[in-house]
Chains A and B, each alone.
Chain A
């Protein structure tokens, strides 16, 4: 069964450094998402992406964050200048349709654990 793959599985970085988290969504999917889960807390929506642009973003997704689909297969999340509170598990997800009015399961990657020291 096709999978969403994320790399790296664990990233350690120093505060103030830039990080790029990478995701390869399922190949025929059109909608892409980033979610994060701070340790011990619930999963939170960051951003959704469709047709090469952001379709929706949360309050968490401030100017320090950006997303890109540079080559038609990868989907990246960049954090420009990491803070301690960015430490979390970051999940990429993809779906075939938007899900509104249609049966469109969401497929998640295994996550990237980001540790900011």
Chain B
């Protein structure tokens, strides 16, 4: 069983749509990361959160620690948002490794 599950695996949206990507995890965590990976392969950190909600531009990330669930929202989506969005968790305890989900491939069509 995967410790980090994302849904959907693939998502196609029209430009301007509101997008939600979900992440559920089964372990206790100290933090959750949302990352973006472009076709070239590079990974960019979008958010790190351990509670509540964070916003950066058109991106919003929320986390519910009790329900072990996080969502990434993109408002007014644009073709340049097309990428793989990855949820990763840092388990609780002394570890500082990340456990990654399999990612959500987002394609925003003009």
Residues of A within 8 A of B (CB): 31, 33, 35, 37, 41-45, 48, 55-56, 58, 89, 91, 95, 98-101, 103-111, 113
Contacts and interface: CB of A to CB of B under 8 A. Distances in A.
Interface of B: 30-31, 33, 35, 40-45, 48, 86, 88, 90, 93-103
Given A99-B30, A105-B48, A56 B96 contact: yes
Contacts of A44: 100
Contacts of A33: 97
B1 to A, nearest CB: 14
B101 A42 contact: yes
A31 B96 contact: yes
A91 B43 CA distance: 8
Nearest to B44: A108
B96 A99 contact: yes
A56 B98 CA distance: 11
A15 B83 CA distance: 32
A31 B88 CA distance: 18
Contacts of B30: 99-101
Contacts of B95: 56, 100
Which among B31, B35, B43, B100 has the greatest number of chain A C-beta atoms within 10 A? Answer: B43
Nearest to A111: B41
B37 to A, nearest CB: 8
The 3 residue pairs across chains A and B that have the minimum distance between CB atoms = A110-B42, A108-B43, A45-B97
Contacts of B96: 31, 48, 55-56, 95, 98-100
